[in-house]
């Protein structure tokens, strides 16, 4: 697990800076289970710069959520985390729990997948929205209430002043997700981590939430890490993207490079599997098989059993290294893309 | 706690008002509290005014509840004893609630060895029949009002600990608790703000039920001579003293018994009604509309 990614290129829409908001270096997560230790994430490295959007793409079980939990110190107790994580100027992995908790609360906001369960059903939304601000900025009750109204307005909740005392069940799914976003933004975080925030919503609401986050990001300059399995979302909002499979990053780079010249057979298969209106009437393309169990990963490339290419005899037994193929574009495969 | 609490309070009152049983229970409880506070002044005679000429008189204009074997006015004794019963109920359930909820929260939230140790202790307490344990504690501490309250409090602690722990176990796995962890909320804050309010409903119901049982337990302890010491009046003790006269002076047992019955019933009715209205998820559509303009 000693590979290092190449330095990331300058983000598309933002001036290049050397500073990173969150930088993850050689992160490995091993979870102790009844069947022995399971390596859920192996040697993952990536960075997010101020104002940038980084998308982490993968199927269920590919390790994307675990990567984020471990990076922010929220991994379950059964997990052993190694590697280095840097949040702004602090080495998170070197800090005691309490200090890490405070830094996380102050600088990172989280939006979870299902807004039906991520809000406390017995607390009025106004109280929940400012919870982080009360804890970390020492807001008084009155100031917190004003701030709650402000935040709810910011995320586009109509007549916010009248709704701060309403309970979560009085909101629709999309409105709840807006509340959850307001909650994440309460401390004006430098980084917003969105873990499949649109998966539980219907399609029109999804688009509104994506637009809202993009708009807020432009206004507040927050860096965003967006976890998703929806490549359409990635193309629309991300500056850089990392594709995960079997606990490792298999392809990583600027979103244009990855989408225009996908190199890893898995990325290619994912892109080919997107529904395409111009192929209306044809069967949808699917990747045969299912992702490997982290309990039983193949010795070589994790994608080998499902790979349509199998370009190299080493694929089955030897783990391909992450190799640069373009400006900041790295890929973990022996395959060197003939047209496909 | 300004606007939110007020509106929750108003909502609870409005909902309680629609439930006739809850209204009845609340009225009885309110009367009991009045009697508990003002009992000695409401009583037509002193509790220990012995009058051997008036022994064992049936209910009449002068003595609406009759008189006992020493000629004392039963009505006066029942009224004055209300204070002791309410006090025992409140203090002992208070002890059980504070101790049980604290232990249950710690066990359920932190799990691990702490959970095992605490809950096994609770299991040991729980394994004893309620009265046997209370009697044992009183036997160690000596009979009296204070020890009766402590004993009953200890006896009811495991119930609160178990209910709390069970609730905590389910609530702490909820996404909103993870969300609170993610924003860096402290354990104490998460317990107070997210866990406790979500398990309040079963605790409130258990509190009202336990108040009823605590009053019964005190009556039982007094009946056994381990609670309030004579000549101070207590409902249970009066039942005990009246048992020898069941055939020829029914009023000695019936009136204190009815007082116990009414008190326990009122607590149960109010507890049931509270459970229904305290859960915001059970707001009716009309209430939801009113609270969201």
Q: Is residue B8 part of a domain?
A: yes
In a domain, B281, yes or no: yes
Kindly indicate whether the domain formed by A22-331 is annotated with CATH number 3.40.50.300: yes
pLDDT averaged over every residue in chain B: 82
Neighbours of B199 (CB within 10 A): 23
What pLDDT, on the 0 to 100 scale, is given for residue B100?
Answer: 94
Residue A120 and residue B3: Cβ atoms within 8 Å? no
Query: How sure is the predictor about B157, in pLDDT bands with cuts at 50, 70 and 90?
Result: very high
Domain count, chain B: 1
**Cβ–Cβ below 8 Å for A123 and B293:** no
| pLDDT over 80 (residue B285) | no
Asked if this assembly's ipTM is beyond 0.85, the reply is no
For chain B, how far is it from start to end, CA to CA, in angstroms?
A: 21
Please check whether residue B58 lies inside any domain of the structure.
no
Cross-strand pairs, A109: A192
Q: Which domain holds residue B14?
A: 3-47+72-291
Distance from CA of B252 to the nearest CA of A (A): 48
Give the per-residue pLDDT at B106: 92
Quote the longest CA-to-CA distance of chain A: 67
Q: Tell me if chain B has a CB within 8 Å of the CB of A66.
A: no
Contact across the interface for B183 and A121, Cβ inside 8 Å? no
Q: Do A74 and B181 touch (CB under 8 A)?
A: yes
User: Would residue B67 count as lying in a domain?
Assistant: no
Contacts of B2 in chain A (CB under 8 A): 141
Q: What is the largest CA-CA distance in chain B?
A: 77
Best to test chain A binding among B109, B111, B171, B182 (most A CBs inside 10 Å)? B182
Per-residue pLDDT band for A4 (boundaries 50, 70, 90) equals: very low
Q: Which residue's structure tokens are 């009414």? A: B262
- 10 Å CB burial of residue A313 (0-12, 13-18, 19+) is exposed
Is-contact A180 A118, C-beta < 8 A? Answer: yes
CA A131/CA A123 separation, integer angstroms = 11
Domain range summary for chain A, segments of one domain joined by +: 22-331
Query: For A36-76, what is each residue's pLDDT tens digit?
Result: 888 888 889 999 999 899 999 988 878 888 898 888 888 88
* CATH (domain of B261): 1.10.3720.10
CB contact A172 to B (< 8 Å): no
Q: How many angstroms separate the CA atoms of A340 and B89, rounded?
A: 79
A155 three-state secondary structure: coil
Distance from CA of A263 to the nearest CA of B (A): 35
Determine the 3-state secondary structure of A133 from DSSP.
helix
Q: What is the predicted pLDDT for the residue at A7?
A: 37
Could you tell me if A123 lies within 8 Å of chain B, comparing CB atoms?
yes
Tokens of A322: 């992450």
The token pair that represents B111 in the structure block:
């799990």
Q: Do the domain assignments include residue B56?
A: no
pLDDT for A10 beyond 60: no
A170 touches chain B (CB under 8 A): yes
CA pair distance B147, B152, nearest whole angstrom: 8
């Amino acid at each position: 697990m000693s590979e290092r990614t190449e330095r990331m290129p300058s983000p598309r829409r933002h001036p290049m800076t050397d500073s990173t908001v969150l930088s993850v270096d050689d992160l490995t997560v091993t979870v102790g289970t009844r069947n022995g230790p399971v390596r859920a994430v192996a040697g993952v490295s990536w960075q997010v710069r101020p104002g940038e959007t980084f998308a982490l793409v993968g199927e269920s079980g590919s390790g994307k959520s675990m990567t984020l939990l471990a990076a922010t110190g929220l991994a379950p107790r059964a997990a052993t985390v190694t590697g280095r994580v840097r949040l702004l100027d602090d080495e998170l992995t070197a800090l005691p729990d309490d200090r890490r908790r405070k830094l996380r609360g102050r600088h990172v906001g989280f939006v979870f997948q299902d807004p039906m369960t991520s809000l406390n059903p017995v607390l009025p939304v106004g109280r929940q929205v400012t919870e982080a601000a009360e804890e970390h900025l020492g807001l008084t009750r009155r100031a917190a209430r004003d701030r709650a109204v402000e935040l709810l307005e910011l995320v586009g909740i109509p007549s916010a002043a009248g709704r701060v005392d309403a309970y979560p069940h009085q909101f629709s799914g999309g409105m709840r997700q807006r509340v959850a976003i307001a909650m994440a933004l309460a401390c004006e975080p430098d980084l917003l981590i969105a873990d499949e925030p649109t998966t539980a919503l219907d399609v029109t609401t999804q688009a509104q939430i994506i637009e809202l986050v993009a708009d807020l990001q432009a206004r507040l300059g927050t860096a965003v890490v967006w976890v998703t399995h929806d490549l359409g979302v990635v193309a629309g909002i991300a500056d850089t993207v990392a594709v995960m499979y079997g606990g490792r990053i298999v392809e990583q780079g600027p979103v244009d490079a990855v989408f225009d010249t996908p190199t890893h057979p898995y990325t290619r298969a994912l892109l080919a599997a997107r529904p395409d209106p111009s192929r209306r009437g044809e069967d949808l393309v699917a990747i045969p098989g299912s992702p490997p169990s982290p309990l039983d990963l193949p010795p070589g490339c994790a994608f080998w059993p499902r790979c349509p290419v199998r370009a190299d005899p080493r694929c089955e037994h030897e783990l391909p290294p992450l190799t640069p193929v373009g400006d900041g574009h790295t890929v973990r495969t022996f395959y060197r893309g003939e047209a496909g | 706690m300004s606007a939110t609490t007020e509106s929750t309070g108003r909502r609870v009152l409005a909902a309680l008002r629609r439930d006739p049983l809850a209204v009845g229970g609340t009225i009885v409880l309110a009367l009991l509290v009045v009697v508990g506070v003002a009992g000695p002044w409401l009583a037509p005679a002193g509790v220990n005014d012995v009058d051997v000429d008036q022994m064992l008189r049936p209910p009449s204009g002068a003595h609406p509840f009759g008189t006992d074997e020493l000629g004392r006015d039963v009505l006066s004794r029942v009224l004055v004893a209300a204070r002791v019963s309410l006090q025992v109920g409140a203090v002992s359930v208070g002890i059980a609630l504070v101790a049980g909820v604290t232990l249950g929260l710690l066990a359920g939230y932190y799990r691990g060895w702490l959970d095992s140790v605490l809950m096994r202790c609770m299991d040991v307490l729980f394994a004893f029949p309620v009265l046997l344990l209370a009697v044992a504690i009183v036997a160690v501490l000596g009979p009296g009002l204070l020890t009766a309250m402590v004993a009953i409090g200890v006896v009811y602690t495991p119930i609160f600990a178990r209910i709390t722990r069970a609730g905590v176990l389910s609530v702490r796995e909820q996404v909103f608790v993870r969300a609170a962890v993610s924003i860096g909320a402290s354990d104490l804050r998460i317990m107070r703000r997210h866990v406790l309010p979500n398990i309040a409903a079963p605790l409130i119901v258990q509190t009202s039920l336990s108040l009823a049982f605590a009053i019964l337990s005190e009556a039982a302890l007094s009946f056994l001579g381990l609670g309030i010491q004579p000549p101070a009046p207590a409902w249970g003790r009066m039942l005990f003293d009246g048992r020898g006269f069941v055939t020829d002076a029914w009023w000695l047992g019936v009136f204190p018994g009815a007082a116990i019955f009414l008190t326990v019933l009122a607590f149960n009715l109010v507890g049931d009604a509270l459970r229904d209205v305290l859960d915001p998820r059970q707001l009716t559509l009309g209430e939801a509309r009113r609270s969201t303009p």
